[in-house]
Amino acid sequence: MSINFPQTEEETVRFWREVDAFQTQLKLTEACPRFTFYDGPPFATGMPHYGHLLTSTIKDIIPRYWSMKGYHVVRRFGWDTHGLPIEYEIDKTLGVSGRDAVLQMGIEKYNAECRAIVMRFAAEWRQTIERLGRWIDFDNDYKSMDVSFMESCWWVFKQLFDKDQVYRAYQIMPFSTALCTPLSHMESKQNEKTTQDPAVLVAFPVQGKDSSLIIYTTTPWTLPSNLFIAVHPDFEYLEILDEASGKQYILLESGLSMLYKDKKKAKYKVVGKLKGKDMIGWKYEPLFRYFIDQFSDCFQVIGADYVEADEGTGLVHQAPAFGQEDYDAAVAAGFIHPGRLPPCPVDDKGLFTAEVADYVGQHVKSADKAIIKDLRETGRLLVATQVAHVDKFCWRSDTQLIRKAVSSWFIKVTNSIPDMLANLESTTWVPSFVKEKRFANWIANAHDWNIARNRYWGTPLPLWVSEDYEEVVCVGSIAELKELSGFTGTLDDIHRDKIDGITIPSKKGKGQLRRVDEVFDCWFESGSMPYASNHFPFENSDNFHDGNFPADFIAEGLDQTRGWFYTLTVLGNKLFGVSPFRAVIVNGLVLAEDGKKMSKSLKNYPDPKKVIDQFGSDALRLYLINSPVVRGEPLRFKESGVKEVVAKVLLPLWNSYRFFYEQAVLFKKTTGNDFVLQFPETTNVMDRWILADCQSMLQFIDQEMAGYRLYTVVPRLLQVIDNLTNWYIRFNRKRLKGAAGLDVNDTKAALDTLCQVLFTLVRALAPFTPFLTEHIYRLLQPYLGDALSEYPNSKSVHFLAFPTVQESLFDEVIQRKVSAMQKVIQLARTARERKTIPLKTPLLTLVVIADAQQLSDIEELQTYVKEELNIRDVILTNDEERYGIHLEAKVDWPTLGKKLKRDAQVVRKALPDVTQEELRRYLKEKKITVKGIELEGDDINIVRAIAADNPNIAKDDGVVYEPAFLEDMIILLDTASHPELVDDGIARDVMTRVQKMRKTAGLVPTDDVRMQYSVVSNPDSVQFDTLVSSRQSQFESTVRGPLEPFSPTADAAETVILQEEHAISNLTLLLRLCRI
């Protein structure tokens, strides 16, 4: 019964379609309490990548879990269909900027081009998300370009406008010249990276003096717009004579290293010192003459407290249109005000305008070279170099941003910071450090939000204004627009091309009010998603606060702390005074295997579709969520990691079911009765242990899922799979096969236990691995009997309730006992591996040294220990001295040295003289005094060791002990070869080889065959016939039948299924399987 996981998953997808599984689950939970989930909308202009698959997996697991816990979880897919990403794609296709394209083709055609591509990959998204196993409603999705969504955005904005939370201002904003629009401060920080820029020192001769002011800048392109030079009033500046040129310069002493490569060899002398405040008002010679007539009173020194002593020369060139601090300083000095704005000779494409005639039409960054060249020719350039520094780049076009003065519309944010921080406290974030550090810091330092974009494909700002902006009308709905404007046509689309021509009569005698040009920042739309996706308040207003808001859960990547999480938070607090979500999982970034960002051009990651086709979605899901990425840390994606999940998790789980199925078939053959699950009332220790382990798991999952800690839940689930496959089934094979020499009731109890555990596991794992659990569940159904009677619809495992903890099955004593047994077995396995002694080789003695409680626990289960470890005798003792065990004190000296200072050397010298009794007392009390110095806690680490020359062990003839240690347990494994064990080893080896032959021949447990042997070569004269005949009962219970001798020259009538020659040490056997 082999399995192809990807093929099985595709069959499961078809089954879900047949039964309309997702909608059926929603109908089954319709009357249940609501669990609200918001889906953060992706752009559909690209194919889904591993980051999308990760968040989709998280967004599927949590809703599936809460659905199975008895909640109604509506899941609607969302699409971000507006904004810069869409327009940038069109601009690249047309080869022109949005503004030029609109001038050429008109806004209606431009928007039609945008609309045509927004859902370009929607079909691929739907196919991939379905194949991933995520249940979400694509048919009842929401799109930010839908008129219902856009109208709710208008409502949100009007609420803020009416609360006086919106204003228009002239500010210096991050500006994308590739996209011809300002960005918000939030957006500008989403793509920061190191870049090379020119760095220049430029001289400004002071009028009426022989000295020049020296400024430093990395933006030479702003020099044509220079109006002032700022100094700090309290700094002391040097006036120096440069002996090489004979010129005098003024700068801070810290700036000398910028003027001279080697300050020690520099030839200059200080001719004077002066305070910054004494220079305020000095006039200087402008670099360029473009704005002399208009700003003749400028070109002088002003004071500014923001000037820093350790940056540049201490004199800062001021271009008020291209720096917020420059602008603020000019306003404070009284030269710039709303009626007199600074020169801004750069258009939206970043090109110099005709105001700067020498560089007109050049992009500002390209003009740097020409400006530097011209300054060198005039003698004003002193130094020109390149500097590497971190700067901001456009998050969409990846082009370097500039800062530029714009008139724009802002939402007040700073006045809501205390409320946002207070409401943040009541939310749950996983991992918590993202909330406590990253997000809280981001909110604490938030700026007011520029929500306007000079673009075309987006929700238009619903502001109608007079020419002088003294009358502003904010519209909150389509109905209101019609009422105010008198427009009588249909408005089933409110994009710019449909409403820009609509005017509103002024109520102040200012003629017709016209809509402003801008559209909303698309982050405003995504932040409005809780309201706009429900067309609130125009629809769904009755139950909005009783199930639709706030969300119980959201999830996105770490980058959204400055994006969606932030905009949701701002609007939720502004509108309703609450956080718009209660819990959030923040995942880290999925990187390529080499640690670099995944790149299509570099082809440094495997195609997600191929990975799913090869290994299946369950494997990919488990790999992703059982990784550091769900703790907000980066994950280096390794295809081998997905493959490992198949081998270590999915196959063992499948093999557990397959083993159950084979034994259920065997049960019917041997008893004549179909196996049907009855919840077991068993006294067997291993049955009770695995059932109790399942209850502990369920209790743990309930606790951790309430805190959204997937990173702790998945390992616990995998631990139960390991306990089931590598401990329970392995230790109970004979019972499950009915070959343990016990009655049929014991076999039934074991099968009941295994079936119940599998039934529990497929339900507990269903949210995480929805495909394999569905497949196994459907195969289990014929055996579940009345266990399914409580469910109104049991067609799918996802229609069932999540398993609840059964208190009656808890048994801490049994779990403690089996835990002790596991420790013994794991230690002994380690000892065997170190000595490279295979498990098939029988050994004589295992000594277990532990406390009385553990020894008592192990004594009850030592039959399992002997059988699993192939050991004849187990000695249980707490006499460490008898076996040469002594305690040693290990110290982390650097750490203890910091604590004890000079006393550490006293302790170092005295520690070897501490007695064994003192060390044992330290183990219990965690306190010890060494030469009058108190040590406690983790100052000393006590380890156990075994003496190489222990005289007590020497008395045990022929013994070779291999030790293995835990803090509370020691085992000594006798690894010597003892003649009396040789026959046991041969018998065990033969049984193993016969079982492998049955598997090779494709036999199942219910296939009865004759198993025969013939001795081919026996140079050591092993009494093999006697060996077999004396162990026939062991052979019959292990391989389901006797092992019989045969002669290769006779028995020609036998029908041989498989015949193989096997060498066991010096003994050579011919083994065969024959039909009965």
Cβ atoms of 296 and 237 closer than 8 Å:
no
DSSP per residue over 388-408, as a string? EEEEEB-TTT-PBPEEEEEEE
Q: With beta carbons less than 8 A apart as the criterion, state whether 320 and 298 touch.
A: no
- Which of helix, strand or coil describes residue 96? coil
Q: What gap in Å lies between CA 632 and CA 614, rounded to an integer?
A: 28
Please give the structure tokens belonging to residue 1068: 């050579």
CA nearest to 34, candidates 554, 766, 551, 581: 551
DSSP letters, 241-282, are EETTTTEEEEE-GGGHHHH-SSTTT--EEEEEEEEHHHHTT-
| Amino acid identity, position 197 | D
What DSSP designation does 881 have?
Answer: G
How far apart CA 190 and CA 561 sit, in angstroms, is: 10
Query: Would you call 669 helix, strand, or coil by DSSP?
Result: helix
Residue 905 CA to residue 93 CA, distance in Å, equals: 74
CA distance 312 to 308: 8
Q: Per-residue DSSP letters for 904-950?
A: HHHHHHHGGG--HHHHHHHHHHSEEEETTEEEETTSSEEEEEE-TT-
Active site residues: 41, 80, 523, 560, 564, 597, 600
**Amino acid in position 338:** P
Strands (E), 416-547: 428-430, 449-450, 452-453, 463-465, 472-474, 504-505, 512-515, 519-520
Q: Output the CA torsion 342→348→349→352 (10° steps).
A: -20
The dihedral through the CA atoms of 364, 366, 367, 372 has a sign that is positive
Angle at Cα 735 formed by Cα 733 and Cα 737, nearest 5°? 65
Quick one: which H or E segment has residue 776?
Answer: helix 770-784
DSSP strand E in 13-153: where?
76-79, 137-143
Three-state secondary-structure class, residue 788: helix
CA distance 936 to 408: 64
Report the Cα–Cα distance between both ends of the chain, in Å, rounded. 23
* The token pair that represents 817 in the structure block: 């006992």
Contact status, residue 889 vs residue 918, Cβ threshold 8 Å: no
Count CB neighbours of 628 within 10 A: 13
Q: Which amino acid is at 815?
A: Q
**Largest CA-CA distance found in the chain, in angstroms, rounded:** 126
Give the list of residues 6+ apart from residue 947 with CB closer than 8 angstroms, or none: 884, 885, 886
Taking the C-alpha atoms of residue 449 and residue 409, their distance in angstroms, rounded to an integer, is 8
- Residue 845: alpha-carbon gap to chain centroid: 49
Q: Which of 791, 953, 987 is nearest to 881 (CA)?
A: 953
Pairing of β 472-474 and β 300-303:
unpaired
Q: Give the three-class secondary structure for 493.
A: coil
C-alpha–C-alpha distance, residues 602 and 692, integer Å: 51
